[in-house]
Structure 1
Amino acid sequence: MEQLQQQIVEHHLLAAAQKVEDQLDNEMHQLQKLEEDDMESLRQQRLQQMKKAALKKKEWLSKGHGEYNEIATEKEFFAEMKGEERMVCHFYRENWPCKVMDKHLQTLAKQHVETKFIKIHAEKSPFLTERLKVFMLPTLACVKKEKTVDYVVGFDELGGSDDFSTHTLAGRLSLHGLITYDGTEDYGEANPNQPKIKGVQRSVRHGGERAAASDDEDSDFE
């Protein structure tokens, strides 16, 4: 009798242990399936992001991004600016400082297709130079959604000499979101640890500080 009771107890214990083991196996399986589903969901999200980025890049390239082009007339300036999220326009003339700026902008245009880079001869664009108060060359007019939000005038903010790096210019343009820059880009040069970037520029014409426009200010072109 006692032997039978012991066998019954052992049977129930084994059954209970098996049930617990089965439950653990099921929970492990569900957890593994959940992780696999999460990974698949993340993979699909990443694929969608990559497809969206590829389509956006294709759109940018179709609009002339990825190149550094010269425009001949002020009318072309407005045509190039229309519908652009970000645009950098170099007002130049035939001199050494402007050629230095050209070199860096050519590099940036190829690397940062999210932004349109163009140049226009200052003497051939009197309306724009007057409207934008371009008084020193080179000057970069930084435009976001058809509004000027920033200017880079001469080399003062880039170290004060013509031997500044492309990284220094990239960092300066990124301050107002003209390009997406994190310092890891490969411009074929070393990235200086501490680029000399100043926060405010002074106007030679007016003798005062020239502040960047905020996004909600009226357009300079209206």
Structure 2
Amino acid sequence: MEKVIEHQVLQAGKLMEAQLDSEIQRLDQLTNNEDDLEALRARRLAAIKSDNLKKQEWRANGHGVYTELADEREFFQATKKSNKIVCHFFRVTTPRCQIVDKHLEILAAQHLETRFIKINVERSPFLAERLHIVVLPTIAMVVDDKVGDYIVGFDDLGGTDNFSTAMMEWRLAHGKAIFYSGDLSMPPDMPKIAKSILGSGKSSKNLRSKKDESDGSESD
């Protein structure tokens, strides 16, 4: 009988020890989870702070609004401060330039990561010649100090004056001038022009290079 009681006590002790070990393990996991959550919160707060600082920097450099620059000097100053620029070369007497203005003004507010500007070609002949601006309107996409792509006239936008702002946004995304979460394989307005745009293969040009390369712009 004494051996039976001793065995039962031993088994009960082992059971209590196992339960205690299980509880300690549960508490350890809870502590680890809390540490993980705290680390996650800290990383999230740091990311939000960094994002807010970046937005403040962008706004300080003229992002968020569509503005007209006075001359070439202001253009080159802008390229030093902003990694992404959409520049509309216009003439006051060209009606289609006003259509472009309408869409770029909307997109400037939506894409804070990019600076949207316009330049009167009659006031900036050196820059217009350097970038081979012939047809108006022409939109140059400057990424990391290089003109990587152009929208010349409205052919890339469906060949119509009635293209949507979404169509302009899609085309700028192909030039990597903006951040875009949509489907790049399908233009919003004219699905048939996707192939011609994707296969255009326009080359980049360094704004600081001494030797200019032809951008393949078409003439009216």
Q: TM-score, normalised by structure 1?
A: 0.84
Cα RMSD for the two superposed structures: 2.1
State the partner residue of 2:213.
none
2:152 pairs with 1:153:
yes
Please give the alpha-carbon distance, in whole angstroms, between the structure 2 residues aligned to 1:19 and 1:163.
78
State the partner residue of 1:207.
none
Question: How far does residue 46 in structure 1 lie from its aligned partner after superposition?
Answer: 0.8
State the partner residue of 2:11.
13
Question: How far does residue 221 in structure 1 lie from its aligned partner after superposition?
Answer: 5.8
Question: How far does residue 26 in structure 1 lie from its aligned partner after superposition?
Answer: 1.1
On the 8 A contact 2:61/2:81 being kept in 1, the answer is: no
Please give the alpha-carbon distance, in whole angstroms, between the structure 1 residues aligned to 2:41 and 2:130.
49
Please give the alpha-carbon distance, in whole angstroms, between the structure 2 residues aligned to 1:154 and 1:100.
11
Please give the alpha-carbon distance, in whole angstroms, between the structure 2 residues aligned to 1:148 and 1:56.
23
State the partner residue of 1:80.
78
Ranges in structure 1 where 5+ consecutive residues have no aligned partner: 185-190, 202-209
2:209 pairs with 1:211:
no
State the partner residue of 1:121.
120
AA of the residue aligned to 1:125:
S
Q: TM-score, normalised by structure 2?
A: 0.84
State the partner residue of 1:206.
none
2:158 pairs with 1:167:
no
State the partner residue of 2:32.
34
Ranges in structure 2 where 5+ consecutive residues have no aligned partner: 211-220
Question: How far does residue 119 in structure 1 lie from its aligned partner after superposition?
Answer: 0.3
Deviations 1:104-130 (A, max 9, x none): 100111111111111011222211111
Question: How far does residue 57 in structure 1 lie from its aligned partner after superposition?
Answer: 0.5
AA of the residue aligned to 1:61:
R
Please give the alpha-carbon distance, in whole angstroms, between the structure 2 residues aligned to 1:160 and 1:193.
11
On the 8 A contact 1:173/1:179 being kept in 2, the answer is: yes
Q: 1:137 to 1:221 in 2, by over 3 A?
A: farther
Q: Give the paired residue count.
A: 203
Percent identity over paired residues: 39
* Correspondence list, 1:57-206, <5 A: 57-94=55-92, 95-183=94-182, 192=188, 196-197=193-194, 198-200=197-199
